[in-house]
Structure 1
Amino acid sequence: MGKFLIRFSFLLILVAILFAGYTWLTLQWSYSEGDRAGYIQKLSKKGWICKTWEGEMALVTMPGTMTEKFYFSIRDESIADKLNESIGKRVVLEYEEHIGVPFSCFAETSYFVTGVKTVQEVPPL
């Protein structure tokens, strides 16, 4: 019985280490990177235990056209503060896409904003 408990404990520790390594890898390695421009419609801090900033941006190509929504997450508090200051203005979000993050505790989406730039309004046609 003692050998069984030792082997079982070793197996549990090994599984925990592998899972932690996988989680670290998904948060560090990005599948894609890019920029999206639009207007922030919603930004809120959500979560029961792990609070994350979650947002929604309207991607407007031309006035009067149908808008597409871009859902994103923010892990850095300073970026969230910068984005809060830019609400109502046209912004460009720099993001990284992380696929396979195991828990929503890290974010609700796979798109993590890494930078924010305020841009000039698009002149009317």
Structure 2
Amino acid sequence: MPTSNKALLFGLIFIAVALAGFAAYLWIALHWSYSEGERAGFMQKLSHKGWLCKTWEGELSLVALPGAAPEKFYFSVRDEAIAQQINAAVGQRTALTYEQHKGLPTSCFGETEYFVTAVKVVK
């Protein structure tokens, strides 16, 4: 086999292995959560935003003590059904169950590393 063909074959194999490695990393980052938890507060907003990759991005106002300045919890939502539940709960006290996914390479998956997996309105 001529040298140029060997170099081309090596280059194609290298690219294929790099793409497979990136795909494996992306799958792990999306399916393995760094942490899980629940946050409760008043649902401030939820918006569908982005130029190319539209994602649901929200804001929950956490109030620890009456009169204290509220802390904001920013989150992303991947599931359309959960986004609709959150939209219905805007302005109400809610509890969000979330997973934290670190190391996502782009904001096409969400602008934050916190992804809401469940929502319930707290009476």
Q: TM-score of the superposition, structure 2-length normalised? A: 0.94
Shift of 1:47: 1.4
**CA separation in 1, counterparts of 2:50 and 2:91?**
25
Give the 3-state SS of the residue equivalent to 1:66 in structure 2: coil
The structure whose residues are more often helix, as a share, is 2
Q: For structure 1, list consecutive stretches of 5 or more residues without a partner in the other structure.
A: 121-125
1:38 and 2:33 matched: no
Cα displacement string for residues 4-43 of structure 1 (whole angstroms, at most 9, x for unaligned residues) = 1111011001100000100000000001100000112121
The range that moved more, 37-46 or 85-94, is 37-46
Give the 3-state SS of the residue equivalent to 2:7 in structure 1: helix
Residue aligning to 1:99: 102
- The alignment covers a number of residue pairs equal to 120
Shift of 1:63: 2.4
The range that moved more, 2-11 or 41-50, is 41-50
Kindly report which structure 2 residues correspond to 1:8-27, keeping only aligned pairs within 5 A, or say none.
8-27=11-30
Query: Runs of 4 or more off by more than 4 Å in structure 1?
Result: none
Residue aligning to 1:58: 61
1:7 and 2:13 matched: no
Give the 3-state SS of the residue equivalent to 2:108 in structure 1: coil
Residue aligning to 1:85: 88
Residue aligning to 1:123: none
Residue aligning to 1:73: 76
Residue aligning to 2:122: 119
**CA separation in 2, counterparts of 1:90 and 1:40?**
6
1:109 and 2:109 matched: no
The range that moved more, 15-24 or 44-53, is 44-53
